[in-house]
Structure 1
Amino acid sequence: MPSPPHLIFGAGGIGTTEKSFTYTWDTPEKVSELLDLLQKLNITELDSAAAYPPGNPENTETLLGQARAVQKGFIVDSKIQAYPLDVPHLNDKGIQASTARTLELLGVEKVRIMYVHAPEPKTPVEETARAFERLFREGRFEKLGLCNYDAAGLAEYVAVCEKHGLVKPSVYQGCYNALYRKSEDELVPFLRKHGIKYYIYSPLAGGFLTGKVTAAIDSGDESALHRTRWRGDSIMDAFAQAFDKPALHDGIRKLKRVCEANGGISLTEVSMRWLMHHSVLGEGDGIIFGAKTLAQVEANVAEARNGPLEGEVLAAIEGLWDDVKGAFGVGSSGGGEKVGEKEKVKI
C-alpha cells in the first residue's frame, strides 16, 4: 500500500514583522524549542524562503541559521528572493545573489530544494532556467522547484528545460485543500505525467477550515478575529479575499453539522486526514503546515496521523468542493492556481 504524503513544517511563521501579529518563534532559543519538538515528532523538513517572514525578508533564515537547524539534522528548502515585487528577480544576477545569501544565512553549502517563489514575467523563462542550471551544476541545490505557476506556465517552463537540456523542476508547490481543489483539473495531471512531486501549502486554508472565522461571524462577535489575517491590517489579507465568502461559510457550516453528529470530530482533523488519505496527494508528495504554538504543532501532527476517514464525515468533506467551487469561478476556465499566487510571495 502506498505511503501517504509526508508532513513539512512551514517556516514562514518564524521571525517577526510589523504586520505579523504572532511572534512565537522570534529568537534562536525559541526556534530551538520548536526544532526539538519537531524532531520528537519525526518531522525534519522545513519550508523556508528568502522572503520569509512576510514583510521582513531574511529574518526566518537568519534565525534558522542561528539555531543551527541544518546542523541539527533538518532539511531546509528555500525560495529565491521575490522582493521588491516590481524588480526583476529571476534573472541570473537575482538568482545567484539570493541563493548565495540563503546559503550564507543557513550556514550551508547547498539546499535540497530551491524554488522559484512565483512567476516573474519580466525575465524570459530561458534566462531563468539557465541560471538555475548553473547553480545546479555548482552543487548549490539538489532539486529545482516551482511555486504558484498555473498549468500553462509550468508546461512552458518544462518545455524550455527539455528543449535546452536544462535541469527541470521535480517539485511543485501550490495551494490545495478541501476548500480549494482547482489544481486537480489540469495541474495535477501534468505533475503526474512528468514525475513532479506536489508539495501543498495552506492545508487549512489559512485557518478558515478550522471553522473559527465562520463561528466568529455567526456569534456576532468578531473580536477573536481582530489582529489576524481575517480582520485588520495584515499582510496576509489575500486569504480573506479568497475564502471569506458566503458560499464558503455555508460549506463550513454544513461540514460542521456532520462532524458534530459524528462524535464531534474537529474540522481541523477532518481536513488534515482528508489530505493525508483521500486527496490527490500520494507517496512522495508533501503537506506544508504551520502553527502558532508548540501545542498546535503537536495537535496538528497527531490529528493528521489519525488515519483515513469513513462514512458521513468522508462524504461530507469530499462533497465540500462541489458546494463551493463556483465561488472560485471553476467551470469555465479550468485548473489554474489563482489562490496563493499573490499571497504566497508574502508568506
Structure 2
Amino acid sequence: MPPRLIFGAGGTGTTARSFTYTWDTPEKVSDFLSVLQELNILELDSAAVYPPGNTWNAETLLGQSKAADKGFNIDSKANADRRLPHLDEERIDISISQTLGLLGVDRVRVYYAHAPDLSTALEKQARAFDLQYKAGKFEKLGLCNYTIKDMEELFAICDEKGYVKPTTARAFHAYSPVAGGFLTGKVTFALGDPESMALKRTRWRGASALPFAIDTYDDPAMHQAIWTLKEACDAVSPHILLQDAALRWLMHHSALGEGDGIIFGAKTIDQLRANVAGARAGPLPDTVRETVDGLWGSVKVKEQLRVNVSDRQKWKSKA
C-alpha cells in the first residue's frame, strides 16, 4: 500500500515574510478544507509555530474554520525555540493547552516534539509528554528532527519508566515532497532572471526567501539534476510534470509504504487539486523511475555535508 496524503498547514496564515498569502482568513481556509473533503484527505499537519514567523496563526484559523467539526484529524507540534528550553513540563502544558483551545478540541491525534530541546534532559521531556498523554490531550506521540541516538535513548527511558512511547517515530511522514517548489523546476528555469515572477513570494527570492532552502538546493549540481529529470519526463508520452514525477516516485517507488504519510501543501485550489492528481497518477514509467533513482548519485555529496540540526554537541558548541 502506498503512503497516505496529509495536508500541511505550514502555509496557513500569513506574515510579513510569508511565501503564500493565500489561506489568511477563516473563509479561505474553509475553501481548501472543502476541497480536501472532496478529495478524501482528512488529515492536517499543524504546529504551534505555523506559519513561520507568526506563531499560533495557523491553528487560530483552523479553529475559526471549524476544521475539527468538519471531520479532520489534526496533528500538532509543541511550540519550539531551539535556543531555549521548550519541552519541559511547564512549557509543554502551556503549548498543548493553547493548541487545544485554538482548535476547539479536547485532544489532538498526534502531538509532536517539533525539534529537540537541548536544554532539557530527555527523561524530563519524556515525563512531561507522558503527563499530557495520561491527561487525554493526545492519542499518539511523535518526534521531529531527532537523531537516531536520541530516539534510542528516549525509547529506553520510556521502557524503563513506563512512559508513552513515540509511535509516530516508527512510521515516517515525509514533508516538502517537492522541496519547497524546487522540484517544479521553477528555480532552475529562472536562472539568470532574478526578477522572475515565477519566484515572487516563494522561498527562493525576496523578503519571503528561506536561507535554508536556498543553501540546500540552489546549487549547480541540483540544477543539473533538474535538467536531467526534465529530459526524462519530456521523453515519455504523455509528458510528465517534474513535480508529478517527484510525488509519484515518493508514492510508489520510495521506501515509504503503508502507515507512512506524505505531507504536502498548496498555494491555490488549482494547485491543491493538481498536486493530489499528480500523486495519485500511479507508478512512473521505468525510464523516469530509473532516472530519479540515479539522480541521488549526482547530489549526495552535498547532502552528506549538511549538519544535522539535532546534533547535540554541535548545538552546544554554538551556545
TM-score class normalised by the smaller sequence: over 0.9
Aligned counterpart, 2:229: 255
Distance change in 2, residues 1:235/1:248 (3 Å):
closer
Q: CA deviation at 1:262?
A: 1.2
Aligned counterpart, 2:16: 18
Question: Aligned partners of 2:31 and 2:10: how far apart in 1?
Answer: 16
Please give the residue correspondences for 1:23-102 in structure 2 after superposition, counting only pairs within 5 Å: 23-83=21-81, 85-102=82-99
Distance change in 2, residues 1:235/1:97 (3 Å):
farther
SS in 1 for 2:298: helix
Residue 315 of structure 1, aligned match among 285, 290, 302 = 290
Count of residue pairs the alignment pairs up:
309
Do the aligned residues in 2 keep the contact of 1:55 with 1:235 (CA within 8 Å)?
no
SS in 2 for 1:121: coil
Query: 2:218 is matched by which residue type in structure 1?
Result: D
Query: 2:91 is matched by which residue type in structure 1?
Result: G
Mean Cα deviation higher: 298-307 or 146-155: 146-155
Residue 111 of structure 1, aligned match among 100, 108, 112 = 108
Post-superposition CA distance 1:110-129 (Å, at most 9, x none): 00000000111000000000
Query: 1:115 is matched by which residue type in structure 2?
Result: Y
Q: CA deviation at 1:223?
A: 4.7
Aligned counterpart, 1:189: none
Question: Aligned partners of 1:225 and 1:18: how far apart in 2?
Answer: 16
Asked if residue 277 in structure 1 is aligned to residue 252 in structure 2, the reply is: yes
Do the aligned residues in 1 keep the contact of 2:74 with 2:108 (CA within 8 Å)?
yes
Question: Aligned partners of 1:300 and 1:247: how far apart in 2?
Answer: 26
Query: 2:246 is matched by which residue type in structure 1?
Result: S
Q: CA RMSD in A?
A: 1.7
Please give the residue correspondences for 1:189-208 in structure 2 after superposition, counting only pairs within 5 Å: 196-208=170-182
Question: Aligned partners of 1:279 and 1:159: how far apart in 2?
Answer: 29
SS in 1 for 2:2: coil
TM-score (norm 2): 0.93
Question: Aligned partners of 2:200 and 2:309: how far apart in 1?
Answer: 26
Residue 162 of structure 1, aligned match among 159, 164, 176 = 159
Post-superposition CA distance 1:252-279 (Å, at most 9, x none): 1111111111132111111000000000
Distance change in 2, residues 1:91/1:109 (3 Å):
same
Post-superposition CA distance 1:288-343 (Å, at most 9, x none): 0001000000000011001111221110011111221011126xx9xx8559xxxx
Asked if residue 217 in structure 1 is aligned to residue 191 in structure 2, the reply is: yes
Asked if residue 149 in structure 1 is aligned to residue 124 in structure 2, the reply is: no
Question: Aligned partners of 1:12 and 1:220: how far apart in 2?
Answer: 26
Question: Aligned partners of 1:320 and 1:303: how far apart in 2?
Answer: 20
TM-score (norm 1): 0.85
Question: Aligned partners of 2:84 and 2:309: how far apart in 1?
Answer: 21
Q: CA deviation at 1:225?
A: 2.1
Question: Aligned partners of 1:272 and 1:338: how far apart in 2?
Answer: 26
